[in-house]
Amino acid sequence: MGRNYSIGVDFGTESARAVLVDLESGEVVASHVKNYPHGVIDEELPGLGVKLDKDWALQNPSDYVEAFVIAVKEMLKKAEGVSPDEIVGIGIDFTSCTMLPVKRDGTPLCNLPSFRKHPHSWVKLWKHHAAQKEADRLNEVAGRMEDSFLPRYGGKISSEWLIPKIWQILNEAPEIYDEADRFIEAADWIVWQLTGRETRNTCTAGYKALWHKQKGFPDRSFFRSLDPRLENLVDEKLSRDLLPIGSKAGELTREMAEKTGLRPGIAVAAANVDAHVSAPAAGVVRPGTMLMIMGTSTCNILLGDEEKWVPGMCGVVEDGVIPGYYGYEAGQSAVGDIFAWFVKNGVPPAYHREAQEKGLSLHELLEQKAERMEAGESGLLALDWLNGNRSVLVDADLTGLILGLSLDTKPEEIYRAWIEATAFGQRMIMDTFIENGIPVDRLVACGGLPYKNQMLMQIYADVLNREVSVAAHLHTPAVGSAMFGAVAGGAFRSIVEASEKLAKLKPERFQPNQKNVQIYERLYQEYRRLHDLFGRGGNDVMKLLKQLKRGRGVPVSL
């Protein structure tokens, strides 16, 4: 009898990673990352000359299938001595809400020649922010309902979520809405491609589509009051038939097995979300620990014994992360994306030359220079809203701000200020949970950033004034997916059992430096004042600027 293995595939913003996990030792025996050929489509439909408006972010669904096939095939090549017969399950996780309109057989509308040139037929990526108008209207209508679902979602639904995105399609391209037999999360769509059958999962339904374990979806009357054409959306184009996380969605088809080199019939787990699958992989299976999944954006996951309402959180869903607990989600829409933007746009040629001479990336060069500085030495304080604010303000129309610039400000000072701003944003989230009765005793980090930037992690420990542990698996979400795959394949009785056996943290931890804690405490008080002034209506200048940028003139309300 050979060993047992499971495959996890994490579909991120830019790429998909496949890992093969040994279910005895918990080690990742092979992995492979495949970038999406078309990446994030935010300026023009590839090769079609169709320009996109501001705040749009699309993807090509064919990229997901290609990335899956190549990542798994290449991973298997590296897994010497492992037979496909020893692989018991496959789990996948995806960014969310990343959604697409499809025909009844799963064909994406953007793959049909007649709709190819229509942006609304493509995948809307999680960070597509052009449905803010619909989100605002939805929040208004939901706010007037009796027994509204809004408190379970922190008081506001984000434009990143499913219903605003569908409604935007209906408003701007009713022909696409009519032609779509189904609207589906990309997570469920890829499971459909693997198993040949459509399934839906409770995680994306709960966090992104307003579904509640006891109450189900909101009533038809709610959808009717949004727009009469949406009245039967759930029954006509979504589904009430949902699989709990950890269950088996189906088995790998012969066609997919041939393309990847896997065995047909391997169990495929119900789809799941990148942030949520990371919890068991990082050992977060009980209340008290806040997980930070830090990459392009940051997602937070916390568990609780009760359903509490926390302003500005993304949502609380019973069994949404770990069965038996209420799973809380919050997050920041841009973190690594801010540093990427700065490295691309804010660094002078001399720094590019220096980085090249030293064989460093620009991020590494800036980290080297910035870590020599003391907390507060840059004289800068920033608001990290370059992609809006997800938690706790839930407003995609907010923008970034940097205060304290002078003629001697250096690029590394600005880089450090952006990192500090994202840490203050995390502190707002952590404090809001604590103030609303959800304790945070420990912090665990995973995602790409904790492995890429040690200075950043120390700043987080200092700003949050907590010890920060880091998950040992570099590809934490993919490992979490492999755990769910193993549960679906029958290798473990539950995800908690899989986590207890396989999760690992790095032995070294980031301890708060008390001198920095004091300085950052003071700066955080100022961050909160700026946050509340610009984010809670004290000064709406960011919205005015955004409206002018969109060419809509000065709005009457501002």
Ligand X SMILES: O=C(CO)[C@@H](O)[C@@H](O)COP(=O)(O)O
Ligand Y SMILES: Nc1ncnc2c1ncn2[C@@H]1O[C@H](COP(=O)(O)OP(=O)(O)O)[C@@H](O)[C@H]1O
Sign of CA dihedral 94, 98, 100, 104: positive
Task: Give the pair of three-digit tokens for residue 300.
Answer: 């937070």
**Residue 337 is a binding residue for ligand Y (CB under 6 A):** yes
Nearer to ligand X, 161 or 520 (CB): 161
The region of 78-86, 228-236, 434-442, 444-452 touching ligand Y under the rule CB under 6 A is 444-452
Rule CB under 6 A: say whether 480 interacts with ligand Y: no
If one asks whether residue 295 binds ligand Y (CB under 6 A), the answer comes out as yes
Torsion of CA 186, 189, 193, 198, to 10 degrees: 170
Cα R_g (the chain), whole angstroms: 23
Query: Which of 89, 331, 411, 425 contacts ligand X by CB under 6 A?
Result: 331
When asked if residue 126 is in the footprint of ligand X (CB under 6 A), the reply is yes
Residue 363 as a binder of ligand Y (CB under 6 A): the answer is: yes
CA distance 30 to 32: 7
Which secondary structure element, helix H or strand E, spans residue 88, and what is its range? strand 87-94
Cβ distance to ligand Y smaller for residue 309 or 341 = 341
- Kindly tell me which residue out of 269, 299, 343, 456 binds ligand X, with binding defined by CB under 6 A: 299
**Cβ-based nearer residue to ligand X, 291 or 362:** 291
Tokens of 366: 């800036």
- For ligand Y, the closer of residues 195 and 296 by Cβ is 296
Using alpha carbons only, give the angle 200, 201, 205 rounded to the nearest 5 degrees: 95
Of these, 26, 295, 327, 512, which contacts ligand X (CB under 6 A)?
Answer: 295
Q: What are the C-alpha distances in Å from 47 to residues 42, 116, 120?
A: 13, 11, 16
Of 149, 253, 448, 517, the one binding ligand Y by CB under 6 A = 448
296 binds ligand Y (CB under 6 A): yes
The Cα angle at residue 174 between residues 171 and 178, in degrees rounded to 5: 135
CA atoms within 13 A on the CB side of 147: 5
- Cβ-based nearer residue to ligand X, 168 or 300: 300
In sequence order, the 6+-apart residues with CB closer than 8 A to the CB of 462 are: 375, 423, 512, 513, 516, 517, 520
Residue labelled with tokens 């359903």? 307
Find the binder of ligand X among 195, 272, 296, 422 (CB under 6 A).
296
Residue with tokens 């008290």: 288
Question: Is the CB of 162 or the CB of 266 nearer to ligand X?
Answer: 162
The verdict on 400 binding ligand Y (CB under 6 A) reads no
Smallest separation, CB 344 to ligand Y (Å): 9
DSSP for 417-464, please give it.
HHHHHHHHHHHHHHHHHHHTT----EEEEESSHHHH-HHHHHHHHHHH
Q: In whole angstroms, how close is the CB of 220 to ligand Y at the nearest point?
A: 37
Nearest to 402 by CA among 331, 465, 341, 449: 341
Residue among 200 and 276 whose Cβ is closer to ligand Y: 276
* 364 near ligand Y (CB under 6 A): yes
Q: Residue 256: which of ligand Y, ligand X, none does it interact with, CB under 5 to 8 A by kind? A: none
Chain positions 423 to 462 lying near ligand X, rule: CB under 6 A, are none
Residue nearer to ligand Y on the CB measure, 340 or 373: 340
Burial class (CB in 10 A: 0-12, 13-18, 19+), 402: middle
Tell me which stretch binds ligand Y (CB under 6 A): 43-51, 122-130, 194-202, 441-449: 441-449
Q: For ligand Y, which residue of 447, 489, 512, 535 counts as binding (CB under 6 A)?
A: 447
Provide, rounded to whole angstroms, the least separation between the CB of residue 237 and ligand Y: 29
Contact flag: residue 278 with ligand X (CB under 6 A): no
Closer CB to ligand X, 389 or 516, in the complex: 389
Q: By C-beta, is 250 or 320 nearer to ligand X? A: 320
Closest CB to ligand Y among residues 304, 336: 336
Cα torsion 534, 535, 539, 544 to 10°: value is: 100
User: Considering the rule CB under 6 A, would residue 12 count as an interface residue with ligand X?
Assistant: yes
Alpha carbon distance 304, 152 (integer Å): 13
Q: Quick check: 14 binds ligand Y (CB under 6 A)?
A: yes
| Candidate list 166, 243, 273, 365; residue touching ligand X; CB under 6 A | 273
Identify whether the C-beta of residue 162 lies closer than 8 Å to the C-beta of residue 183.
yes
Is 391 a binding residue for ligand X by CB under 6 A? The answer is no
From first CA to last CA, the distance across the chain in angstroms is: 70
Least Å from the CB of residue 300 to ligand X: 10
**Counting contacts by CB under 6 A, is residue 390 touching ligand Y?**
no
- Do strands 99-102 and 289-294 pair parallel, antiparallel, or not at all (unpaired)? unpaired
Q: Where are the alpha helices (DSSP H) in 262-310?
A: 274-281
Interaction of residue 96 with ligand X, rule CB under 6 A: yes
Two tokens, residue 180 = 């779509």
Does residue 327 touch ligand X according to CB under 6 A? no
In single-letter form, the type of residue at position 393 comes to: L
Cβ-based nearer residue to ligand Y, 165 or 416: 416
Where along the sequence are the contacts to ligand Y (CB under 6 A)?
A: 12-14, 295-296, 336-337, 339-340, 363-364, 367, 447-449, 452-453, 456
Where along the sequence are the contacts to ligand X (CB under 6 A)?
A: 12-13, 95-96, 126, 273-275, 295-297, 299, 329, 331
